[in-house]
Structures are given as structure tokens and as C-alpha cells.
């Protein structure tokens, strides 16, 4: 019998999950920054409805980033 040193299926799942999570969290954080910038710009331009919409989008994106961090910590501490 040949021993399995590397479990390739598990390794590929880990790589895929880390790539998807890394790109997703980075994108969500960039949307949060964009929302804050657009809020400031639209607020200065006197467009309160659009500024509020940008603020909501940015806030939801940053909430998603915070949720991803919390989920990551929970997963790491539970294994």
C-alpha cells in the first residue's frame, strides 16, 4: 500500500475557498470605500438621496466584511 501524503481533494478545496474568500472580501471592502467616497461627493453636490443610497451600499458592504471576519474567526477557533 502507498500512503497518501497529500490529500489533493482537500488541498484544492482549501485553495478554491481561500481564493473566493480573498477576492470577495477585497471586493466588498472596495465597495465600502467607494460608498464612503460617493457619499461625500454627492453630499457636497447637494444630492442627498443619491448620497444616502451610496452610504447604504457602502455600509452594507462593510457589514459584509465584518461578517466575513467574524465567520473566519469562528471557523479558525472551532477546528
pLDDT of 1 reads 56
As to burial, measured by CB atoms within 10 angstroms (0-12 exposed, 13-18 middle, 19+ buried), residue 25 is: middle
Q: Give yes or no for a contact between 64 and 26, defined as CB atoms under 8 angstroms apart.
A: no
**Helices vs. strands in the chain: H and E counts, helices first:** 2, 0
Please report where in the chains the cell 473566519 appears, as a residue.
Answer: 72
For 15-74, the pLDDT digits (tens) are 998 999 999 999 999 999 999 999 999 999 999 999 999 999 999 999 999 999 999 899
Whether pTM exceeds 0.85? no
Q: Give yes or no for a contact between 31 and 58, defined as CB atoms under 8 angstroms apart.
A: yes
Amino acid at each position: 500500500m502507498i500512503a497518501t501524503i497529500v490529500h489533493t481533494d482537500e488541498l484544492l478545496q482549501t485553495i478554491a475557498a481561500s481564493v473566493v474568500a480573498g477576492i470577495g472580501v477585497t471586493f466588498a471592502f472596495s465597495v465600502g470605500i467607494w460608498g464612503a467616497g460617493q457619499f461625500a461627493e454627492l453630499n457636497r453636490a447637494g444630492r442627498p438621496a443619491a448620497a444616502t443610497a451610496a452610504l447604504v451600499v457602502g455600509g452594507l458592504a462593510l457589514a459584509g466584511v465584518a461578517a466575513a471576519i467574524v465567520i473566519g474567526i469562528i471557523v479558525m477557533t472551532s477546528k
